[in-house]
């Protein structure tokens, strides 16, 4: 049965279990189920707990017996998950059962109890009694260590402090929760500062001032050069035209006389047109004055 929330790593041939945050977050449902199951039919399971021989477990201690009976009652919920092949939820419920036993038998009573041994004995007896349930919580039963139980307990307490899920043992003003919140605040502040210092500033690309002068000088030189070439080309073209057609051609003098006649005719036409327009304008003025005189 593969568990995607729990994975193992090998260190010097010793396997350690790592419980990731997503799995701890799912412990709320089995926690609620546990408190609903407590006290239900406890008398029927009395013989299971009285036969426990785990180290540190005191059969004469009523508190130990009651914790064992509550755990046995809660196993009904685990059995239901196993029967329906809901193995992922079964693992979550089993994990909470380990945490709950450690928290109640060792953390609250300040007494050492071999939680694993006690739980194995109850699970095995319960499985044999029901028949076919020998594999309950097998992903934890053969791998989890006492040190893992301590880590699970502390990790779950950290989660409750961060999420604000306080109970009778863990309050908002508890020194443990205050220290956890302080660590979280310091971490967030440090991450914000780190993000600011590693932000690449977007700067506008500017043209250095020492590049502007060569560009301006080059442009001005090109304008002056082009202007000079244009003037030279115009003068040379006129001189060439006059020299070639007027001096070196057979009909140069005749062509020159024809051009002069055309120019004279154009000038005479222009002058006559101007005089005609002036006369029309004068007649128009006269008519206007007459109209003013009569009216």
Query: Which residue ranges make up each domain of the chain?
Result: 6-170, 215-294
CB 149, CB 98: distance < 8 Å: yes
The pLDDT of residue 255 is 54
pLDDT band at 183 (very low <50, low <70, confident <90, very high): confident
The pLDDT of residue 57 is 82
Summary mean pLDDT of the chain: 67
Q: How far apart are CA 148 and CA 24, in angstroms?
A: 13
Q: What is the DSSP string of 58-88?
A: -TT-HHHHHHHHHHHHHHHHHHHHHHTT-HH
Q: What is the DSSP string of 12-47?
A: TTEEEEEE-HHHHHTTHHHHHHHHHHTTTTGGGGHH
**Residues shown for the chain:** 295
Whole-model pTM: value is 0.51
pLDDT, tens digit (0-9, with 9 covering 90-100), for 67-121 = 888 887 777 778 777 777 777 777 788 888 888 888 777 766 677 778 888 878 8
pLDDT band at 18 (very low <50, low <70, confident <90, very high): very low
CB 139, CB 94: distance < 8 Å: yes
**Residue of 46 and 284 predicted with greater confidence:** 46
């Amino acid at each position: 049965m593969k568990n995607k929330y729990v994975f193992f790593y090998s260190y010097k041939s010793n396997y350690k279990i790592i419980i990731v945050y997503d799995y701890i977050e799912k412990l709320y449902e089995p926690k609620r189920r546990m408190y609903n199951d407590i006290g239900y039919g406890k008398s029927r399971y009395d013989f299971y707990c009285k036969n426990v021989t785990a180290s540190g477990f005191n059969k004469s201690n009523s508190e130990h017996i009651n914790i064992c009976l509550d755990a046995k009652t809660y196993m009904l919920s685990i059995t239901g998950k196993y029967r329906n092949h809901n193995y992922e939820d079964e693992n979550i419920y089993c994990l909470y059962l380990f945490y709950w036993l450690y928290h109640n038998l060792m953390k609250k009573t300040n007494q050492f109890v071999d939680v694993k041994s006690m739980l194995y004995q109850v699970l095995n007896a319960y499985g044999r009694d029901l028949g076919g349930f020998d594999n309950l919580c097998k992903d934890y039963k053969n791998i989890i260590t006492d040190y893992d139980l301590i880590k699970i307990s502390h990790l779950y307490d950290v989660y409750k402090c961060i999420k604000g899920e306080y109970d009778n043992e863990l309050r908002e003003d508890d020194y443990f929760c205050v220290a956890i919140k302080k660590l979280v605040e310091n971490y967030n502040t440090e991450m914000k500062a780190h993000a600011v210092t590693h932000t690449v500033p977007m700067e506008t690309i500017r043209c250095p001032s020492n590049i502007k002068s060569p560009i301006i000088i080059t442009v001005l030189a090109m304008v002056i050069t082009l202007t000079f070439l244009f003037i030279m080309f115009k003068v040379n073209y006129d001189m060439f035209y006059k020299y070639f057609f007027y001096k070196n051609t057979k009909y140069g003098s005749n062509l020159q006389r024809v051009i002069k006649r055309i120019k004279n005719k154009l000038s005479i036409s222009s002058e006559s047109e101007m005089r005609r327009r002036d006369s029309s304008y004068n007649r128009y003025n006269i008519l206007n004055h007459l109209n003013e005189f009569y009216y």
